[in-house]
Amino acid sequence: MTDFTIKTDADGVAIITWDTVGKSMNVMNQQGFTDLDALIDQALADDAVKGIIITSGKEGSFAGGMDLNIIAKMKDSAGDDPARGLFDGVMAMHGVLRKIERAGMDPKTNKGGKPIAAALPGTALGIGLEIPLACHRIFAADNPKAKIGLPEIMVGIFPGAGGTTRLARKLGAMGASPLLLEGKLNDPQGAKRAGVIDEVVPADELIAAAKAWVLSSPTIVKPWDEKGYKMPGGAPYHPAGFMTFVGASAMVNGKTMGVFPAAKALLSAVYEGALVPFDTALKIEARWFTNVLMNPSSSAMIRSLFINKEALEKGANRPEAPDQKVKQVGVIGAGMMGAGIALVSALAGIKVVLIDAKQEAADKGKSYTADYMDKGIARKKVTEDKKTAVLGLINATTDYAALKDCDLIVEAVFEDTSVKADVTKKVQAVTGPDCIFATNTSTLPITELAKASNDPEKFIGIHFFSPVDKMLLVEIIKGEKTGDVAVAKALDFVRQIRKTPIVVNDARFFYANRCIIPYINEGIRMVKEGVSPALIENAAKLVGMPLGPLQLVDETSIDLGVKIAKATRAAMGDAYPDGEVDEVLFWMADQDRLGRKSNSGFYAYDDKGKRQGLWEGLAAQYPVAAEQPDLVTVQHRLLFAQVLEAVRALEEGVLEDIREGDVGAILGWGFAPWSGGPFSWLDIIGAPYAAERCDQLTEEFGDRFKTPDLLRDMADKGHEFYKRFDKSAKAA
């Protein structure tokens, strides 16, 4: 069965309808292109056809884009010469869209041809917008929920079916830049304002409007196919265009630090394409697109940020259990985390009982939601009614009896075992036998905390990251006795609040913090050694970390670092490896430089809390050595510090699924997203090289870089993580 069908009406308008079999939204694949091509040929050759409308059979949407599963594997299936195979495949796609755009016009005179309109019932993303951009006029139904745009850059590629070249020529480099470089999506009215589409009409008039236009004998030649075409805003050698390109180049490099291959390639495609005729520009776009697809970063990013993220959100690791959707959640502790958890729950329509020791504190926690909604109202994203409705879902109280009907509790009181034990008992005295109790602890072992529970099977960790409303990851931690229903409950809750879950086993610092702490520590250790703090911070950013280790510890606070260090030392005794780090950290705390919250840390801050640059006084205590290490050594120390912890977590069974390790690392602490995550990065550099590098780092810097047995074994056997451990591959 084909995804495209054609029907020509009595007026001679051929309507090509796209309706992907078995999907709620259209997605494009190779067969789809072949089918579309054949129907376009048929309609152009048919004398009875005066014009064509391309639309969708799905209510409220045109298309979600290309099937990313296919893109991620395109390189592997492109034959012995994959670059050639990919380039040829992309050019074939251009051929189909160019045929739509030229629509049978005489190449010399631009006369003749049949008008082709795109009629979008709603959402049109990626290739779902690139096809319309090749048509002669784009109509969209006035559906405010619809999203129109080219989001490819968000998953590590760029619009490679002519969208880059067409949009740049249609809007100019400046106009196209938020849409191409940031993947900005608009609703239909916004898309019209931005010049992306031509007309917004009531949904029930969509086809009629497109048809009236098709039959109106319109001019269909595109500006770039006419003599004397000039790019809006100027081509690169025009003074205004020149400024745009210089600015865009600086902006892209500033934002990406040069580590995201797609952003650079996109900019090159636009710049180089602007200097040549349209068909040559398409060829240039195809070469850059091939270049990006050949880069292992693009398939790793698609795999982690799209395919596996979605699989985890849909419950890839959910145990068999009946639906555990949360009806009423009790949040204990209305501090920074509790207030955020109450907010995201109420936003998802879940009733919340928000408890604190004092009514004032509970009310303050609830006011966090009010403030959040007020900000939305100021930005015209939220209505007063919505604010009232969301606030109406939160009952802020000190009365534990109000928890009686809750089916999930999330405890977020002080990080103190006895306070938490006390709360657990008080809660369980009022909740029913099916209620699941979750703790938001960031450091305390779940198995230990579960001892205070009357039913450890129903006790679990649900670890949010701060700030709760912004951070996308939630780490679910199973204690020794945690049962399947509790895991399912946690996963269903995370799905309701639209975050991404990973499920890990109980161990010191679970997964995310276990990997972040060595990153911070390695940075601080280098300060002690005399490595320039600027080198440490910039090395981290130049390898794609959003924050350098010193900035990160400033943000999370130095006294928290001291607290964690003391607790870890107490737990590990003589095996504690971070004495050198503590010397610096404790000294900073002694100077009352506690990080951003005290307006002083490894960085200096102004009175308003704005970061001013690295603190110069640090050098008096820890002088910068005359000889500095090279950039790659610093980067490898910072990356391996994290990645080896991830491997150990897998080796020890804390992580059960490398997909969670990769997705969790990117969403949880921003681990170099271009790499696809720690395991993807190891696959990119290869286990043999990784092991060799660890051996060198161990010799130079100490045992913390010792090659884990698992990595050594993989190096010896030439294994890759995504071949040896990919659960999705096994499931397929």
Residues that bind ligand NAD (CB under 6 A): 332-338, 355-357, 361, 412-415, 419, 423, 440-442, 463-464, 466
Nearest distance, CB of residue 387 and ligand NAD, angstroms = 23
Are the C-beta atoms of residues 65 and 161 closer than 8 Å to each other? no
Are the C-beta atoms of residues 217 and 111 closer than 8 Å to each other? no
Tell me the chain's radius of gyration from C-alpha atoms: 28
Nearest distance, CB of residue 501 and ligand NAD, angstroms = 15
Are the C-beta atoms of residues 708 and 648 closer than 8 Å to each other? yes
In the DSSP assignment, the letter for residue 357 is S
Q: Which is nearer to ligand NAD, 92 or 560 (CB)?
A: 560
Q: Which is nearer to ligand NAD, 414 or 576 (CB)?
A: 414
Contacts of residue 487, defined as CB under 8 A and 6 or more positions apart, other chains included, come to 318, 319, 321, 460, 476, 478, 503
Distance CA 210, CA 203 (A): 12
In this structure, the strands spanning 473-478 and 500-505 are parallel
- Residue least distant from ligand NAD (Cβ): 335
Q: Quickly list DSSP for 444-466.
A: S-HHHHGGGSS-GGGEEEEEE-S
Long-range contacts of 413-416 (CB under 8 A, 24+ apart): 413/332, 413/333, 413/335, 413/338, 414/333, 415/441, 415/442, 415/443, 415/444
Nearest distance, CB of residue 339 and ligand NAD, angstroms = 8
Nearest to 345 by CA among 487, 494, 502: 494
Q: Which is nearer to ligand NAD, 361 or 655 (CB)?
A: 361
Length, in residues, of the chain: 732
Contacts of residue 135, defined as CB under 8 A and 6 or more positions apart, other chains included, come to 54, 100, 101, 116, 117, 118
Q: Which is nearer to ligand NAD, 469 or 695 (CB)?
A: 469
Q: What number of other Cβ atoms are within 10 A of residue 112's Cβ? A: 11
Q: Which residues are catalytic?
A: 442, 463, 475, 513
Is omega for the bond preceding 467 within 30 degrees of 0, making it cis? yes
| Torsion sign over Cα 587, 590, 596, 597 | positive
Nearest distance, CB of residue 583 and ligand NAD, angstroms = 25
Distance CA 329, CA 639 (A): 38
Are the C-beta atoms of residues 329 and 345 closer than 8 Å to each other? yes
Are the C-beta atoms of residues 700 and 708 closer than 8 Å to each other? no
* Owner of token pair 């260090």: 565
* Owner of token pair 């657990």: 424
Nearest distance, CB of residue 331 and ligand NAD, angstroms = 10
Are the C-beta atoms of residues 334 and 364 closer than 8 Å to each other? yes
In the chain, count of helices (H) and strands (E)? 31, 21
What would the two tokens of residue 629 be? 């290490």
Distance CA 196, CA 186 (A): 9
What would the two tokens of residue 616 be? 């110069």
Q: Is 582 exposed, middle or buried (0-12, 13-18, 19+ CB in 10 A)?
A: buried
Nearest distance, CB of residue 422 and ligand NAD, angstroms = 6
Contacts of residue 621, defined as CB under 8 A and 6 or more positions apart, other chains included, come to 587
Nearest distance, CB of residue 539 and ligand NAD, angstroms = 26
Contacts of residue 444, defined as CB under 8 A and 6 or more positions apart, other chains included, come to 415, 417, 420
Distance CA 354, CA 334 (A): 6
Q: Which is nearer to ligand NAD, 356 or 660 (CB)?
A: 356
Q: Assign 3-state DSSP to the chain and report helix, strand, coil percentages, each to 5.
A: 55, 15, 35
Q: Which is nearer to ligand NAD, 26 or 442 (CB)?
A: 442
Nearest distance, CB of residue 596 and ligand NAD, angstroms = 13
Q: How far is CA 499 from the centre of its chain?
A: 11
In the DSSP assignment, the letter for residue 574 is G
What would the two tokens of residue 133 be? 């951009």
Nearest distance, CB of residue 240 and ligand NAD, angstroms = 46
Give buried/exposed letters for 382-410 (b at 16+ CB in 10 A, else e). beeeebeebeebbbbbeebebbeebbbbb
